[in-house]
Structure 1
Amino acid sequence: MSTAPKFNAGEPRGEGQEKADQWADAAQSAHDTAQNAAQSTKQSAEHAGGLMQQAGDQMMGMAYGAAEAIKNAVGMGSNNNTTTNKSSSTTKY
């Protein structure tokens, strides 16, 4: 008497193929999820970069304005140059 299990023709292959298909579907789903996460991360990084650029531009503008205010306060600004040389006159002979 033989105690070896009996298999019907095609039965093990069918079960194995079904498992392989399930694993392939799971792998595709994981790939799609990873791809979506990568795209979302890229978009978030681009948005954050834009915000950082705007903040940097605002800070540069504020620093420039502060420097101009100090120059004007000590008489070195461009607003003070227009009043210079108004009282001088030239005489031609």
Structure 2
Amino acid sequence: MADQGQFKAGEAKAHTQEKTGQVMEKGSDTAQAAKDKAGSGAQTVRDKASGAPGAAKDKASGAAESAQETAHEGKERAGGILQQTGEQVKSMAQGAADAVKSTLGMGGGDKEKH
């Protein structure tokens, strides 16, 4: 019975780790897509600015720089969200593993004596 419980606990842990990997990969892809889109927008503004005269060129260049800064801030925010999500998934996985261990009587200090 204990071997079967250990197997199920290991199986649950592996499943949770796989889900964590999927969530992290999806978040990373989303952040990269946002960064790419913002970067291409900034480049478009720069390209248009290169053909504009004087003050208009400066204004467009400033807009491109602002867009690039906004993209960078968005990337940092996305990284924070990914880290937060990873920590939440990790916590849930640990809770699931503890619950399985507890159910199988393999828990740590909170063992009940029968």
TM-score range, shorter chain: 0.5 to 0.7
Which has more radius of gyration?
1
**How far apart, CA to CA, are the structure 2 residues paired with 1:33 and 1:74?**
61
Alignment correspondent of 2:72 = 42
The question of 1:57 aligning with 2:87 is answered yes
Give the CA deviation at 1:48.
Answer: 1.3
The question of 1:28 aligning with 2:34 is answered no
Percentage identity across paired residues of the two chains: 36
Give the CA deviation at 1:76.
Answer: 0.8
User: How big is the alpha-carbon RMSD for the aligned residues of Structure 1 and Structure 2?
Assistant: 1.9
Higher relative contact order (CA 8 A, sep 6+): 2
Q: Which letter maps to 1:69?
A: A
Q: Flag the structure with higher helix content.
A: 2
Give structure 1 regions of 4+ aligned residues with deviation exceeding 6 angstroms: none
State the Cα deviation string for residues 33-59 of structure 1 (Å, max 9, x = none): 100000111111111111111111011
**How far apart, CA to CA, are the structure 1 residues paired with 2:103 and 2:63?**
60
Q: Which letter maps to 2:76?
A: E
Equivalenced residues, count:
62
For normalisation by structure 2, the TM-score amounts to 0.49
Give structure 2 stretches of 5+ with no counterpart: 1-51
For normalisation by structure 1, the TM-score amounts to 0.59
**How far apart, CA to CA, are the structure 2 residues paired with 1:35 and 1:50?**
23
